[in-house]
Amino acid sequence: MNETKMDKSRTEALIGKENLDKLAKKMITVVGVGGVGGACATMLARAGVEKIRIVDFDLVTSSNVNRQVIAFADTIGQKKVEVLSSMLKRINPNIFVDAICERQTKENVERIVKDSDVVVDAIDSVKDKLELILYCKRNNIYIVSAMGAGNRFDVPNFYLTDIYKTHDDGLAKVLRKKLREENIKELDVVTSSSKPQKVEGVIGSISYYPVASATVLCAAIINKIIKEEI
């Protein structure tokens, strides 16, 4: 086998070549490549997605190491999208990665999501999330949003649902109100049924929680593509 070509044989045995081809053709944009977004992007690449756009303005910091797939002692200070781009190409040398080191805003959102079949919202900022969601909804681009993954350390229980059915999620509560004001009737989100802990000063985090959210995000996208729902 050509060593520069990703071996997809185990995935093909499970979902078949036709479905692998569906995954390879989709352009997926991941906005925010920290704990949730970075893990989601790597899993999408390992599943067979071959066109990924990654968007983040931030640098790797020492406080990222406890939970982010891009964070190592020797990547601190580097641009998150550059580290992740390198990782994705090590997974699949033939993958197309469009790495954008910018903060997504109302002014650049159209350019950022251009040509996207799927958008993954893994942003922390409510303002930026709202702008991204509104643009995608108003332009018929499928978007799935990650809700809160911080301040929890129990056994994760993430699931895909509509934002108007979420509970015990502070981020979802704030976003629900704003989406209702904008007359957005539905939004696929990945949320947890766990109640967050009270943490002073910062948002607490642990290694496995963001990855658990990312796993459900990735699985939801893969299954929707296979079923030709997006």
Residue type, position 54, single letter = I
Taking CA 121 as the corner, what is the angle to CA 47 and CA 116, rounded to the nearest 5 degrees? 65
pTM score, whole prediction: 0.96
All structural domains of the chain with their residue ranges: 14-226
The gap from C-alpha 5 to its chain's centroid, in whole angstroms, comes to 25
In CATH, what number does 14-226 get?
3.40.50.720
What's the half-sphere exposure (Cβ side, CA atoms, 13 Å) at 102?
A: 13
Taking CA 50 as the corner, what is the angle to CA 158 and CA 68, rounded to the nearest 5 degrees? 45
- DSSP symbols for 150-183: SS--SS--EEEEEGGG--S-HHHHHHHHHHHHTT
The predicted structure's pLDDT at residue 1: 39
| Number of neighbouring beta carbons within 10 Å of residue 113 | 22
pLDDT in tens, 147-190: 999 999 999 999 999 999 998 899 999 999 999 999 999 999 99
* pLDDT band of 3, cuts 50, 70, 90: low
The predicted structure's pLDDT at residue 27: 98
% the chain with pLDDT above 90:
94
Is 213:34 a contact under the CB 8 Å cutoff? no
